[in-house]
Structure 1
Amino acid sequence: MTSAEVTRRRAMGAGLGALAGALAGCSGASGPVLRLRLATGPEGGPYNAFGQALAQAVAASGHRIEIVPVSTAASVNNLRKLDDGSVELALAMADAAEDAVLGREPFPRPTPVTALARVYVNYTHLVVAADGPVRSVKDLAGRPVAAGAAGSGVQVVTERVLRAAGLSGAPEPAPVPAADERPLGLAASVSALREGSVDALFWSGGVPTPALAALAREMPLRFLPLDDYVGPLRERYAPVYTAVTLPAGVYGLTEPVGTIGVGNYLMARADVPQDAVRDLLRVVFDRWRDLLREVTAGARLEPRFAISTGEVPLHPGAVAHYRSVYG
Structure 2
Amino acid sequence: MRRRTFLLGALAVTACGTGEPGGTIRIAGGEPGGFYHDFAGLLSRLTPSPLTITPIQTGGSADNLGHLRDRTADLALTLSDSAHLESGIVALGRVYENYLQLVVLDSSPYRTPADLVGKPVSLGAAGSGAALQGERLALGVREEHYPLRNAVDALKAGEIAALLWSGGVPTPELGRASGIRLLPLDSFLPRLRQEHGKVYERVDVRAGVYGSPVDVPTIGTPNLLVCRPDLGDAYAGAVVRLLVAKAAELVPQQALGTQYLDVRSLIDTGRVPLHPGATAEYRRLHG
- What TM-score comes out, normalization by structure 1 length? 0.79
1:203 aligns with 2:165: yes
One-letter amino acid of the counterpart of residue 40, structure 1: G
Aligned residue in 1 for 2:54: 68
Which 5+ residue runs of structure 1 have no aligned equivalent? 1-29, 101-110, 168-177
* Residue deviations 1:253-306 (CA, integer Å, cap 9, x gap): 111010000111111111111121111111112212222132412322223321
Matched, 1:318 2:278: yes
Partner of 1:103: none
Q: What residue ranges of structure 2 are gaps of 5+ in the alignment?
A: 1-18
User: Which of residues 72, 84, 87 in structure 1 aligns to 2:70?
Assistant: 84
Q: Does 1:186 align with 2:148?
A: yes
Q: Aligned equivalents of 1:133 and 1:248: distance in 2?
A: 20
Change in 2 beyond 3 A, CA 1:31/1:284:
closer
Partner of 2:59, secondary structure, is coil
Change in Cα spacing, 1:32 to 1:290, as seen in structure 2 (3 Å) is closer
> CA 1:191–1:228 in structure 2 vs 1: closer, same or farther (change >3 Å)?
same
Structural RMSD (CA): 1.6
Are residue 56 (structure 1) and residue 57 (structure 2) matched? Answer: no
Number of positions where the alignment pairs a residue of Structure 1 with one of Structure 2: 268
> Helix, strand or coil: the match of 2:85?
helix
Q: Which residue of 1 aligns with 2:131?
A: 155
Partner residue in 1 for 2:175 = 213
- Secondary structure at 1:184 match in 2: coil
Structure 2 residue aligned with 1:261? 220
From the superposition, tell whether residues 116 and 236 of structure 1 become closer, same or farther in structure 2 (CA, over 3 Å).
same
In 1, Cα distance between equivalents of 2:209 and 2:75 = 32
CA distance in 1, matches of 2:111, 2:236: 46
Is 1:38–1:89's contact at 8 Å kept on the other side of the alignment?
yes
**1: distance between equivalents of 2:186 and 2:33?**
27
Question: Helix, strand or coil: the match of 2:155?
Answer: helix
CA distance 1:272–1:196, change in 2 (3 Å): same
User: Which secondary structure state, in structure 2, belongs to the residue aligned with residue 82 of structure 1?
Assistant: helix
Give the 3-state SS of the residue equivalent to 2:221 in structure 1. Answer: strand
What pairs up with 1:1-40 in 2 under 5 angstroms? 33-40=22-29
| Equivalent position to 1:306, from 266, 280, 283 | 266
1:245 equivalent among 204, 207, 215:
204
Separation (CA, whole Å) in 1 of partners of 2:191 and 2:264 = 26
Kindly state the Cα deviation for residue 96 of structure 1 after the two structures are TM-superposed: 0.4
Q: Once the two structures are superposed, what CA deviation does each residue of 1:129-177 show, in whole Å capped at 9, x if it has no partner?
A: 122122111111110001111111010111111x2xxx4xxxxxxxxxx
